[in-house]
């Protein structure tokens, strides 16, 4: 399963569609949560458009490397593959979104994952620097408004 794959569509900041051996698979990124933009049950959250647009800017039409994490399982309850996404230069896309203030670190059901410490540090730094959704002029960390 691991290898280099083409991103066929960015759904939002933490969900993408990737072409894996001719089949389009929806992927949920492990360890991050971006404000909701496409959930029909919720209003568009603070900084959701920015997070979604950033993901599109970085990933649309790009090739990415995927990494599974056995601690998180293969798929979520919506049947989306659970993966870390790396750019061709080796940059962790998941961590980048947190570090730049486009996502919160997200631990699913208190279940530690491979890059948890690194992602939590990235969030702490983004918060201290007031980046993205942590900015006083944006959401101040509260994306529910």
List active site positions. 28, 36, 80
Q: Is 8 helix (H, G, I), strand (E, B) or coil?
A: strand
Q: Tell me the β-bridge partners of 32.
A: 105
Contact between residue 72 and residue 82 where contact means Cβ atoms under 8 Å apart: yes
Structure tokens at 24: 């389009």
Distance, in Å, from the CA atom of 29 to the CA atom of 15, rounded to the nearest integer, reads 6
Map tokens 């593959």 to a residue: 81
């Amino acid at each position: 399963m691991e290898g280099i794959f083409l991103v066929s569509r960015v759904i939002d900041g933490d969900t993408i569609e990737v072409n894996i051996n001719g089949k389009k698979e929806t992927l949920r990124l492990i360890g991050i949560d971006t404000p909701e933009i496409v959930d029909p049950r919720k209003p568009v959250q603070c900084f959701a458009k920015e997070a979604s647009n950033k993901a599109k800017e970085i990933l649309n039409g790009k090739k990415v490397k995927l990494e599974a994490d056995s601690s998180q399982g293969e798929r979520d309850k919506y049947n989306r593959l659970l993966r870390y996404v790396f750019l061709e230069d080796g940059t962790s896309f998941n961590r980048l979104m947190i570090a730049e203030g486009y996502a919160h670190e997200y631990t699913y059901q208190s279940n530690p994952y491979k890059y948890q410490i690194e992602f939590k540090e990235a969030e702490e730094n983004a918060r201290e620097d007031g980046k993205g959704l942590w900015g006083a002029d944006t959401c101040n960390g509260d994306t529910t408004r």
